[in-house]
Each structure stands twice: as structure tokens, then as C-alpha cells.
């Protein structure tokens, strides 16, 4: 997977910069899409002037290249001077990427307003400054051309510079056959250079991997060679960028050197972003494993938040670096975000609300990954606390995603944070339970609960609370010293069974719902008198007199 990603990234980067090749220039857009005042040769900026000249000269189109010179001479002389300037520029000391991209040029270089410096070329007779002048030709807007002062020194500098002699030793087909207008030998040289850079990157990466092992172990307390080796591809890409940067200075042409320097910068930025993202993934995964071993799942949401924020920051920095490399004024863009940010905040109000609510939930540790919670009408285990939403695995194993802003407004009950679980039950004894039996049940159940190792003694109690409609009602109240609900159910089952044993041992029973119907009110009144007479005659207690009356059919 990483190799596929690396190859894909490589192809995208080469495709993005391929237009800078001297032989692979993109076709100019139609004239109708350009403003009327735009220069067709892109000479309206210093950078456009230099790159336009180099591309034309690399294709051997010296007639077009001569149009970038501030020189009035016969066409043959202008073309020869353009060829000589190309050779001289290949020895240039300077950074083409620093050339001004605006029509005004570099106003802070200390030169006259209409003059810019490209760089300099060292020759045996001295230093030749390569200058550009902004001149006006005809009725069109001002354009940038190579200065006449520079062009006067080009023939002498060309005579003193020994042109690269490698082509003299190459077979004619390698020089004459062209691929995308570039000689075949240059493509072969590129392949050799890239192969050399890849081998160097491979060897250097093998030496750098052991450096990351102690760093990751110190940050996570865990070591995993397989995860550490996932860093080798971004490291390889960064080392490859460094090797390309170094070898680019040995290019035979200035345009090729500039192209490979830009490629190395792209590779460096991509490799930096890739390495940073991979590194935080490795650290976060190993840290999560350590938290799982320590049963500290509540900290995993914090690790996930840091991982996401770090990735966003890395991508944002890499994006700014690429924009700056493309010539975009990043400072002005960031300043414009002040106004644009207000509009963005209004347009993405709900998204930002979820984002800040997610940060608040994670920072306050209101819920944590692995907690069993009840959120409004949903109950389940927290699977992930994201920056936008929180995912819950419900009891029927479905996945529910709730926006963080909604959670902050809902009733949230975190059942996993309980230090003990409430044991609370109501049950009733039959109405024929005697006071002695009731006292026995109360005493034995209370003693049993206070002696149970899983029940908090201070909170344990049982009370006779009311005469119910069909039973004598008792309340059992206690806290069971368990945090896990499955363990709580096991203890609860044991306590309830013991209560049943005590009730049976007392001689009474758990009451069932029942109802007493009086069928004859008059008979009931006379029956009461007979019961009272039988009680006085035989000296019987009230309950036994009632029992005999029932047997005799008196109600």
C-alpha cells in the first residue's frame, strides 16, 4: 500500500511540474482568454522573461529567444547572441525562484526602478552581472528584456567559458534523437541520476530507521518494529529530495537545474507531510495500546483528538509551503483569511459548533471511548469521540452517530463512571404473616446484607414501609460495590436468592396480587357477632376465631 502511495505521489508531482521542462512546455491558452495588454511572450514580469528565454533557447528556437534581448541588431547577430547568452546563463549563480513575479519587479533590491538582477556569472576576467531592464516598445505596455549592458559583456564571457564537452564524446544518435524536444542523452542522464538518488535514499533510510526506535519508545513506552518500518517510505522520499537538490547543481543547463530544484522542493514538502502524518499515527497507535493494557481507555479520546489536530496542522503547513513555492503571496492570503474567515464561520456555523463541542467533550472527559452511556433515548458503548460527531454502539449492535453539538445540549448519563451501583427493590409478604415472622425477615435480611462482602454496610437497610393492597410491603436499599454492570447483576442475583431463602425459612411467603370480595354485607355483620361470641365462649384469639368462622361458612 505504501509503495502504491509513493508511486502515485511521485507521478502526481512529476505531472504537476512537467510543464516546466524545456521540452514539455504547455501550449499557450487562446489569445482570447488573455487580457488585451498581456505580452504574448510573457515578458511582463522578470521571471516570465527569463523562463521564456530559456525555454525558447532549449528548443533551439533562437529567433524567438532573440525577442527577449534589448538589442537592435541584424537577425543573425541577435540569434548568435541569444545562443551565447544561453551558454553563459548555464553558469549562473542565482536563484530563479527568487525572481519577481510582478510587473513592477523587485522594488527592494537597491537598483533603479526599471532594472532587476537575475544573478551573476564568474569568468576569468571578472564577474558579469545578468540584468533585466523594463523598456517600452511601441504602443504596448512595458516589457522586461535582458539589459543591453549585460549583452555587451556576453561575447567575452562566452569566449572565456569552456562549454560542456560531454556531447563531443557521445554517439550522434544520442545527440540528434529528441524526446519531447530534449536530446536522448539527457533523458538517459536523468534516469541514471534518479537511480543513483534512489539507491542513496535507500541506504540512508536504513541508517535513519534505528534513530526513530528509541524516540518512539520514549514517547509511547512501547516498541513495534513493524510500525516503525512504516516510516521508511516518507523518509526515503525526503532523502531522495535532498539528493536531487544536490545533484541538480551539476545539470548542464540552467533550466534543467531549476526544474530539478523545484522537483526536490515538492518531494521535500510531500515527504515532510507524509513523515509527520505517519509518525503521529505510529505514536498514537502505540500509545493507545499502552492505554488499553493499563485499562485507561478514557485517555484514548485525548490521543485521537491530538492525532486529528496534528494532521490538520501538518496538511495546512504543507499546503502553505506549496503555495509559496508556486509564487503565491502567502502573507496576503493569510491576511485575507481574516475577512474570509468570518464568511466561512457563518457558512459553516454548524460544523464549527460540532468541532468546538467535540473539543470540549474530549477535554472535559465527559465521555470516553469504551464508556457505557445513555444519551437522550440512546444507550450503548462509546466507540469514537470525533471532532464532528460521537459514535455509539447500541445494545442491539447498531451504530448511532450523534453530532457533538447535540450531545452538549442533551441529557448525558455516563454509567461507566459509577463507583458503585444502586440495589433497590420492593417486595411484599402475605397478609397472614405474623409480626414475629415479619421481625424475623427484617432481622435476617439486614444481617445478611451487612455481612455480604459486595454490599456497602453503611447504606444497607431493609424496612417495613406500608400495608399494601394485597401484601405487607418491604423496601430493600443498598449499594453494591461493583462498577461493571454484569458483575452487579451476578451479586444482585445472589442477594435476591438469599432473601427468598430467609422468607421461606420464616414460614411465610412472597405475596401474590389478590383481592377479597364481600358477597353479602348483612351476613357479614351478623357473622361478626358470631365470631365475637365464639371468641368469648372458647377464649380464642381473634385470628383463630376468624379461621373457624370461615370454616363454618360465616363471612
Best mean pLDDT range from 122-136, 189-203, 401-415: 122-136
Is pLDDT larger for residue 14 or for residue 133? 133
| Topology given in CATH for the domain delimited by 352-416 | SH3 type barrels. (2.30.30)
pLDDT attached to residue 170: 65
Nearest to 53 by CA among 29, 17, 26, 79: 79
pLDDT attached to residue 176: 64
Nearest to 424 by CA among 462, 372, 467, 471: 462
Q: How confident is the prediction for the chain on average, in pLDDT?
A: 77
**Where residue 554 falls among pLDDT bands split at 50, 70, 90?**
very low
Is pLDDT larger for residue 184 or for residue 314? 314
Q: pLDDT digit string (tens) for 435-491?
A: 999 999 999 999 999 999 999 999 999 999 999 988 999 999 999 999 888 899 999
Domain ranges of the chain: 25-175, 185-294, 352-416, 421-505, 521-551
**Where residue 36 falls among pLDDT bands split at 50, 70, 90?**
very low
Task: Give yes or no for residue 271 having a pLDDT over 80.
Answer: yes
pLDDT attached to residue 8: 42
**Among the listed ranges 92-106, 211-225, 337-351, 529-543, which one has the minimum average pLDDT value?**
529-543
pLDDT attached to residue 423: 95
pLDDT attached to residue 451: 92
DSSP 295-354: T-GGGHHHHHHHHHHHHHHHHHHHHHHHHHHTT--HHHHHHHHHHHHHHHHHHTHHHHHH
Task: Give yes or no for residue 256 having a pLDDT over 90.
Answer: no
| CB contact set of 509 (below 8 Å; sequence gap of 6+) | 429, 430, 503
d(CA 373, CA 102): 60
Considering Cα of 129, then 130, then 131, then 136, what sign does the dihedral take?
positive
CA 63 from chain center: how many Å? 53
**Among the listed ranges 292-296, 388-392, 451-455, 499-503, which one has the minimum average pLDDT value?**
292-296
**Among the listed ranges 153-157, 280-284, 454-458, 488-492, which one has the minimum average pLDDT value?**
280-284
pLDDT attached to residue 545: 52
Is pLDDT larger for residue 509 or for residue 342? 509
Nearest to 53 by CA among 76, 70, 30, 32: 70
Is pLDDT larger for residue 219 or for residue 33? 219
pLDDT attached to residue 427: 93
pLDDT attached to residue 225: 61
Bridge partners, 410 (sequence order):
none
Is pLDDT larger for residue 118 or for residue 348? 118
d(CA 402, CA 379): 12
d(CA 248, CA 253): 10
**502, 506, 508, 513: CA torsion to nearest 10:** -30
Task: Give yes or no for residue 280 having a pLDDT over 60.
Answer: yes
**Where residue 504 falls among pLDDT bands split at 50, 70, 90?**
very high
Task: Give yes or no for residue 526 having a pLDDT over 70.
Answer: no
**Where residue 29 falls among pLDDT bands split at 50, 70, 90?**
very low
**Where residue 183 falls among pLDDT bands split at 50, 70, 90?**
low
pLDDT attached to residue 16: 41
d(CA 284, CA 317): 21
pLDDT attached to residue 360: 75
Q: pLDDT digit string (tens) for 342-378?
A: 655 555 667 767 777 777 776 666 777 778 888 877 8
Is pLDDT larger for residue 189 or for residue 56? 56
pTM for the model stands at 0.53
pLDDT attached to residue 6: 43
**Where residue 524 falls among pLDDT bands split at 50, 70, 90?**
very low
Sequence-distant contacts of 410-414: CB under 8 A, at least 24 apart: 410/375, 410/376, 411/375, 411/376, 412/366, 412/367, 412/373, 412/374, 412/375, 413/373, 413/374, 413/375, 414/366, 414/367, 414/371, 414/372, 414/373
| Topology given in CATH for the domain delimited by 421-505 | Alpha-Beta Plaits (3.30.70)
Task: Calculate mean pLDDT across residues 414-440.
Answer: 91
Task: Give yes or no for residue 278 having a pLDDT over 90.
Answer: no
d(CA 485, CA 445): 23
Task: Give yes or no for residue 139 having a pLDDT over 80.
Answer: no
pLDDT attached to residue 433: 93
**Among the listed ranges 200-204, 327-331, 471-475, 531-535, which one has the minimum average pLDDT value?**
531-535
Task: Calculate mean pLDDT across residues 82-107.
Answer: 84
Amino acid at each position: 500500500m505504501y509503495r502504491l502511495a509513493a508511486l502515485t505521489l511521485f507521478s502526481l508531482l512529476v505531472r504537476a511540474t512537467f510543464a516546466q521542462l524545456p521540452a514539455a512546455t504547455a501550449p499557450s491558452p487562446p489569445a482570447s482568454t488573455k487580457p488585451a495588454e498581456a505580452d504574448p511572450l510573457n515578458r511582463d514580469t522578470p521571471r516570465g522573461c527569463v523562463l521564456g528565454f530559456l525555454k525558447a533557447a532549449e528548443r533551439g528556437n533562437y529567433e524567438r529567444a532573440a525577442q527577449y534581448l534589448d538589442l537592435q541588431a541584424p537577425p543573425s547577430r541577435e540569434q548568435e547572441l541569444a545562443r551565447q547568452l544561453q551558454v553563459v546563463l548555464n553558469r549562473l549563480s542565482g536563484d530563479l525562484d527568487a525572481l519577481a513575479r510582478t510587473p513592477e519587479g523587485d522594488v527592494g533590491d537597491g537598483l533603479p526602478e526599471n532594472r532587476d538582477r537575475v544573478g551573476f556569472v564568474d569568468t576569468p576576467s571578472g564577474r558579469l552581472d545578468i540584468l533585466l531592464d523594463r523598456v517600452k516598445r511601441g504602443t504596448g505596455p512595458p516589457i522586461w528584456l535582458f539589459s543591453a549592458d549585460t549583452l555587451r559583456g556576453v561575447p567575452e564571457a562566452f569566449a572565456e567559458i569552456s562549454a560542456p564537452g560531454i556531447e563531443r564524446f557521445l554517439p550522434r544518435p544520442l545527440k540528434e534523437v529528441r524526446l519531447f524536444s530534449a536530446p536522448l542523452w539527457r533523458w538517459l542522464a536523468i534516469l541514471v541520476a534518479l537511480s543513483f538518488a534512489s539507491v542513496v535514499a535507500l541506504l540512508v533510510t536504513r541508517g535513519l530507521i534505528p534513530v526513530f526506535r528509541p524516540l518512539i519508545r520514549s514517547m509511547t513506552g512501547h516498541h513495534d518494529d513493524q510500525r516503525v518500518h512504516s516510516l521508511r517510505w516518507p523518509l526515503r522520499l525526503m532523502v531522495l529530495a535532498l539528493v536531487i537538490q544536490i545533484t541538480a547543481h551539476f545539470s548542464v543547463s540552467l533550466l534543467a537545474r531549476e526544474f530539478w530544484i523545484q522537483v526536490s522542493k515538492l518531494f521535500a514538502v510531500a515527504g515532510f507531510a507524509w513523515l509527520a502524518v505517519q509518525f503521529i499515527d505510529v505514536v498514537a497507535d502505540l500509545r493507545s495500546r499502552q492505554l488499553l493494557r493499563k485499562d485507561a481507555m478514557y485517555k484514548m479520546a485525548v490521543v485521537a483528538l491530538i492525532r486529528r489536530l496534528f494532521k490538520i496542522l501538518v496538511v495546512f503547513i504543507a499546503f502553505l509551503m506549496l503555495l509559496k513555492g508556486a509564487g503565491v503571496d502567502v502573507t496576503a492570503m493569510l491576511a485575507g483569511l481574516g475577512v474570509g474567515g468570518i464568511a466561512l464561520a457563518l457558512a459553516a456555523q454548524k460544523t464549527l459548533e460540532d468541532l468546538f463541542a467535540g473539543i470540549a467533550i474530549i477535554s472535559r472527559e465527559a465521555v470516553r471511548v469504551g464508556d457505557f452511556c445513555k444519551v437522550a433515548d440512546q444507550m450503548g458503548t462509546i466507540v469514537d469521540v470525533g471532532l464532528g460527531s460521537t459514535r455509539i454502539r447500541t445494545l442491539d449492535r447498531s451504530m448511532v452517530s450523534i453530532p457533538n453539538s447535540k450531545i452538549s445540549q442533551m441529557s448525558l448519563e455516563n454509567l461507566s463512571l459509577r463507583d458503585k451501583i444502586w440495589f433497590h427493590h420492593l417486595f411484599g409478604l402475605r397478609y397472614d404473616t405474623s409480626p414475629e415472622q415479619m421481625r424475623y425477615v427484617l432481622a435476617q435480611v439486614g444481617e445478611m446484607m451487612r455481612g455480604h462482602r459486595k454490599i456497602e454496610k453503611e447504606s444497607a437497610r431493609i424496612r417495613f414501609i406500608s400495608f399494601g393492597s394485597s401484601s405487607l410491603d418491604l423496601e430493600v436499599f443498598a449499594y453494591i460495590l461493583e462498577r461493571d454492570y454484569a458483575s452487579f447483576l451476578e451479586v444482585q442475583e445472589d442477594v435476591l436468592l438469599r432473601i427468598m431463602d430467609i422468607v421461606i425459612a420464616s414460614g411465610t411467603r412472597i405475596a401474590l396480587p389478590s383481592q377479597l370480595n364481600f358477597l353479602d354485607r348483612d351476613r357479614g355483620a351478623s357473622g361478626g357477632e358470631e365470631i365475637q361470641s365464639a371468641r368469648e365462649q372458647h377464649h380464642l384469639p381473634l385470628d383463630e376465631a376468624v379461621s373457624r368462622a370461615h370454616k363454618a361458612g360465616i363471612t
